Structure 1
Amino acid sequence: YNNVPIGYGQIYKMYDELYTDYHYPKTDEIVYGMDQFIGEPNYWSKGIGTRYIKLIFEFLKKERNANAVILDPHKNNPRA
């Protein structure tokens, strides 16, 4: 964020083993998974994560023709 590393993010196309491992129903649609976190508390509650997710959704929709994106936030993270 503004040239400061504050967290981590990754996107990946879902494949058969992931559907099985995570108990998601298999589909023929183009589906991506997404993991992200902001590890620096000074950057929490500033809308950065929300903006990041929206940008990635838009990229996946336009550039990768994604029909869906799976996020799996930790249940002990109410902000997520």
Structure 2
Amino acid sequence: MIAKSEDSSVGIRKLQPEDAGLLEKWLSDPEVLEYYEGRDRPHDAELVQRHFYENDDEVYAYIIQYKEVDIGYIQYYAVKSDEAEEMGLSILRGELVYGMDQFIGEVSFWNCGIGTKLLHLMVRYLTSECGVDRIIMDPQTWNQRAIHVYEKAGFRKVNLLPNHEWHEGTYRDCWLMEYSLPKTRESHVT
């Protein structure tokens, strides 16, 4: 276990090769795919391998657990300056900015407050253990449930990203959302 929530109910552990079956199960469920990847992109074993295990980028991949049960996936990565520029985000010299993506793959655990606990855990972990100054996410604008959870965890909308993400046959608008440590609280959006 890499980190646990304050009440120890939510934790993250490193993604292992034997987790491929979980990812395939979750990412072939139309309810999950509606919010993550798209219902027109179910993952089979080959796509799971390519997407989650053969990625050369510096992506840190984890399984989300709730009371020791595997329920979802989360990843984080350092945001490169060219990627930040595309989103209208300025990174100050020496500033460490990470991006984060996640989903709860077990739909019976949706709407239970787990996402809020997970985000509080990740903010604490990334800022205190990894030295991150800012964390960004880019939910699609129609995903009000996710946006609400992110705002409860201290993220705020900083930039509208028109036609940012291909999802179910069309480009969708996204919000660039940011969590900043108090020392960098002013937004650096251009």
Same structural fold, with TM-score higher than 0.5 when normalized by the shorter chain: yes
- 1:4 is matched by which residue type in structure 2? V
SS in 2 for 1:51: helix
Partner residue of 1:39 out of 105, 108, 115: 105
- 2:124 is matched by which residue type in structure 1? E
SS in 1 for 2:127: helix
Q: TM-score if structure 2 supplies the norm length?
A: 0.38
Compare CA radii of gyration and give the structure with the larger one: 2
Q: Structure 1: give runs of 5+ residues left out of the alignment.
A: none
| Identical columns (%) | 40
SS in 1 for 2:69: coil
SS in 2 for 1:50: helix
State the match for 2:67 in structure 1.
2
Q: TM-score if structure 1 supplies the norm length?
A: 0.82
Q: Aligned-pair distance for 1:48? A: 0.6
CA RMSD of aligned residues (A): 1.7
SS in 2 for 1:79: helix
State the match for 1:19 in structure 2.
84
Moved over 6 A (4+): none
Residues 1-40 of structure 1: per-residue CA shift (max 9 Å, x gap) = 2232222100111112322444433433211100011122
Report the Cα distance in structure 2 between the residues aligned to 1:75 and 1:62, rounded to whole angstroms: 30
- 2:141 is matched by which residue type in structure 1? K
Q: Which structure is higher in RCO with an 8 Å CA cutoff and minimum separation 6? A: 1
Larger strand fraction of residues = 2
Report the Cα distance in structure 1 between the residues aligned to 2:122 and 2:103, rounded to whole angstroms: 14
- 1:64 is matched by which residue type in structure 2? C
